[in-house]
Amino acid sequence: MSLIELRNISKSYKGLTLFENTSVSFEKEKIYGIIGHNGSGKSVLFKMICGFVFPDHGGIFVNGEELGKNRRFPENFGIIIDKPGYLGDKTGFENLRYLADIQNKISDEKIKETLEKVGLHYTIKQKVKDYSLGMKQKLAIAQAIMEDQEVLLLDEPFNALDVDSVENIRGLLKSLNNEGKTILLTSHNNEDIEVLCDHVFRIRNYKLEQIK
């Protein structure tokens, strides 16, 4: 059984049909990349996979269970979709602390360790409203990985990152994958993901085609 299966899905917005009758499966413990231009449907695809948006036709199955039937959202997913919102007057640590408290309990140590992994430990006292775009992006990555979720759905995780940070985050994702995490990520830039991913799809003419 595949970890995630999209079965004959289509999604339309005002005359625009995305992924017309597409079927694709994602297997455990692999890294998948999805490349597409702005507006090609990357974020919509991820919103469907995590149950925020439903396809008009077809179904999304996670561990064999169809989303929207007995289960609205998949379990054990760490997610970045589009631009996440933060509390500007709080520090990065405080934002993660707040998000961690909604779901489960994570220790302060775990949050600090995660901030260090993404390269934000030196900003511990800085408020998020003073963060650069790249720093906000790192905070989004920290939020997605801090709970040790089995599946990471990362929409454009390399956006706004400088070259060294891209290298660091690539290494981080590789090591999480070595620990057994399944990772799906999108990018509008081929180079960012082709070295990292086991399999790559491109969205062209609003359809998914496998290129690796």
Ligand X SMILES: Nc1ncnc2c1ncn2[C@@H]1O[C@H](COP(=O)(O)OP(=O)(O)O)[C@@H](O)[C@H]1O
Selected from 43, 95, 165, 182, the binder of Mg ion by CB under 5 A is 43
The CA angle 172-39-132, to the nearest 5 degrees, is 45
- Cα–Cα distance, 99 to 108 (Å, whole number): 12
Q: What is the dihedral of CA 52, 188, 20, 205, to 10 degrees?
A: 150
Should residue 55 be labelled a site residue for ligand X when binding is judged by CB under 6 A?
A: no
Nearer to ligand X, 56 or 108 (CB): 56
Q: Is 68 in the site for ligand X (CB under 6 A)?
A: no
- Assess contact for 127 and 139: CB atoms under 8 A: no
Which residue is it, tokens 């990362």? 154
CB of 34 to ligand X, least distance (A): 9
- Contact between 159 and ligand X per CB under 6 A: no
Size of residue set near ligand X by CB under 6 A = 11
Of 55 and 157, CB closest to Mg ion: 157
What is the distance in angstroms between the CA of the first residue and the CA of the last residue of the chain? Answer: 21
CB 118 within 8 A of CB 140: no
Least distance to ligand X, CB of residue 43, Å: 3
- Is the CB of 43 or the CB of 114 nearer to Mg ion? 43
Number of residues that bind Mg ion (CB under 5 A): 2
Residues 1-30 that bind ligand X (CB under 6 A): 13-14, 16
**Tokens 């979709």 identify what position?**
81
Interaction mask 53-82, Mg ion, x per CB under 5 A = ------------------------------
Structure tokens given for 23: 């079927």
Contact call for residue 117 and ligand X (CB under 6 A): no
Residue in 6, 68, 62 with CA at minimum distance from that of residue 207: 6
Q: How far is the CB of 56 from Mg ion (least distance, A)?
A: 19
Stretch that binds ligand X, among 37-45, 132-140, 170-178, 193-201 (CB under 6 A): 37-45
Sheet bearing 182-187, strands edge to edge: 77-80, 151-154, 182-187, 31-35, 199-204, 207-210
From ligand X, Mg ion, none, interface partner of 38 (C-beta below 5 to 8 A by class): ligand X
Q: Which residues bind Mg ion (CB under 5 A)?
A: 42-43
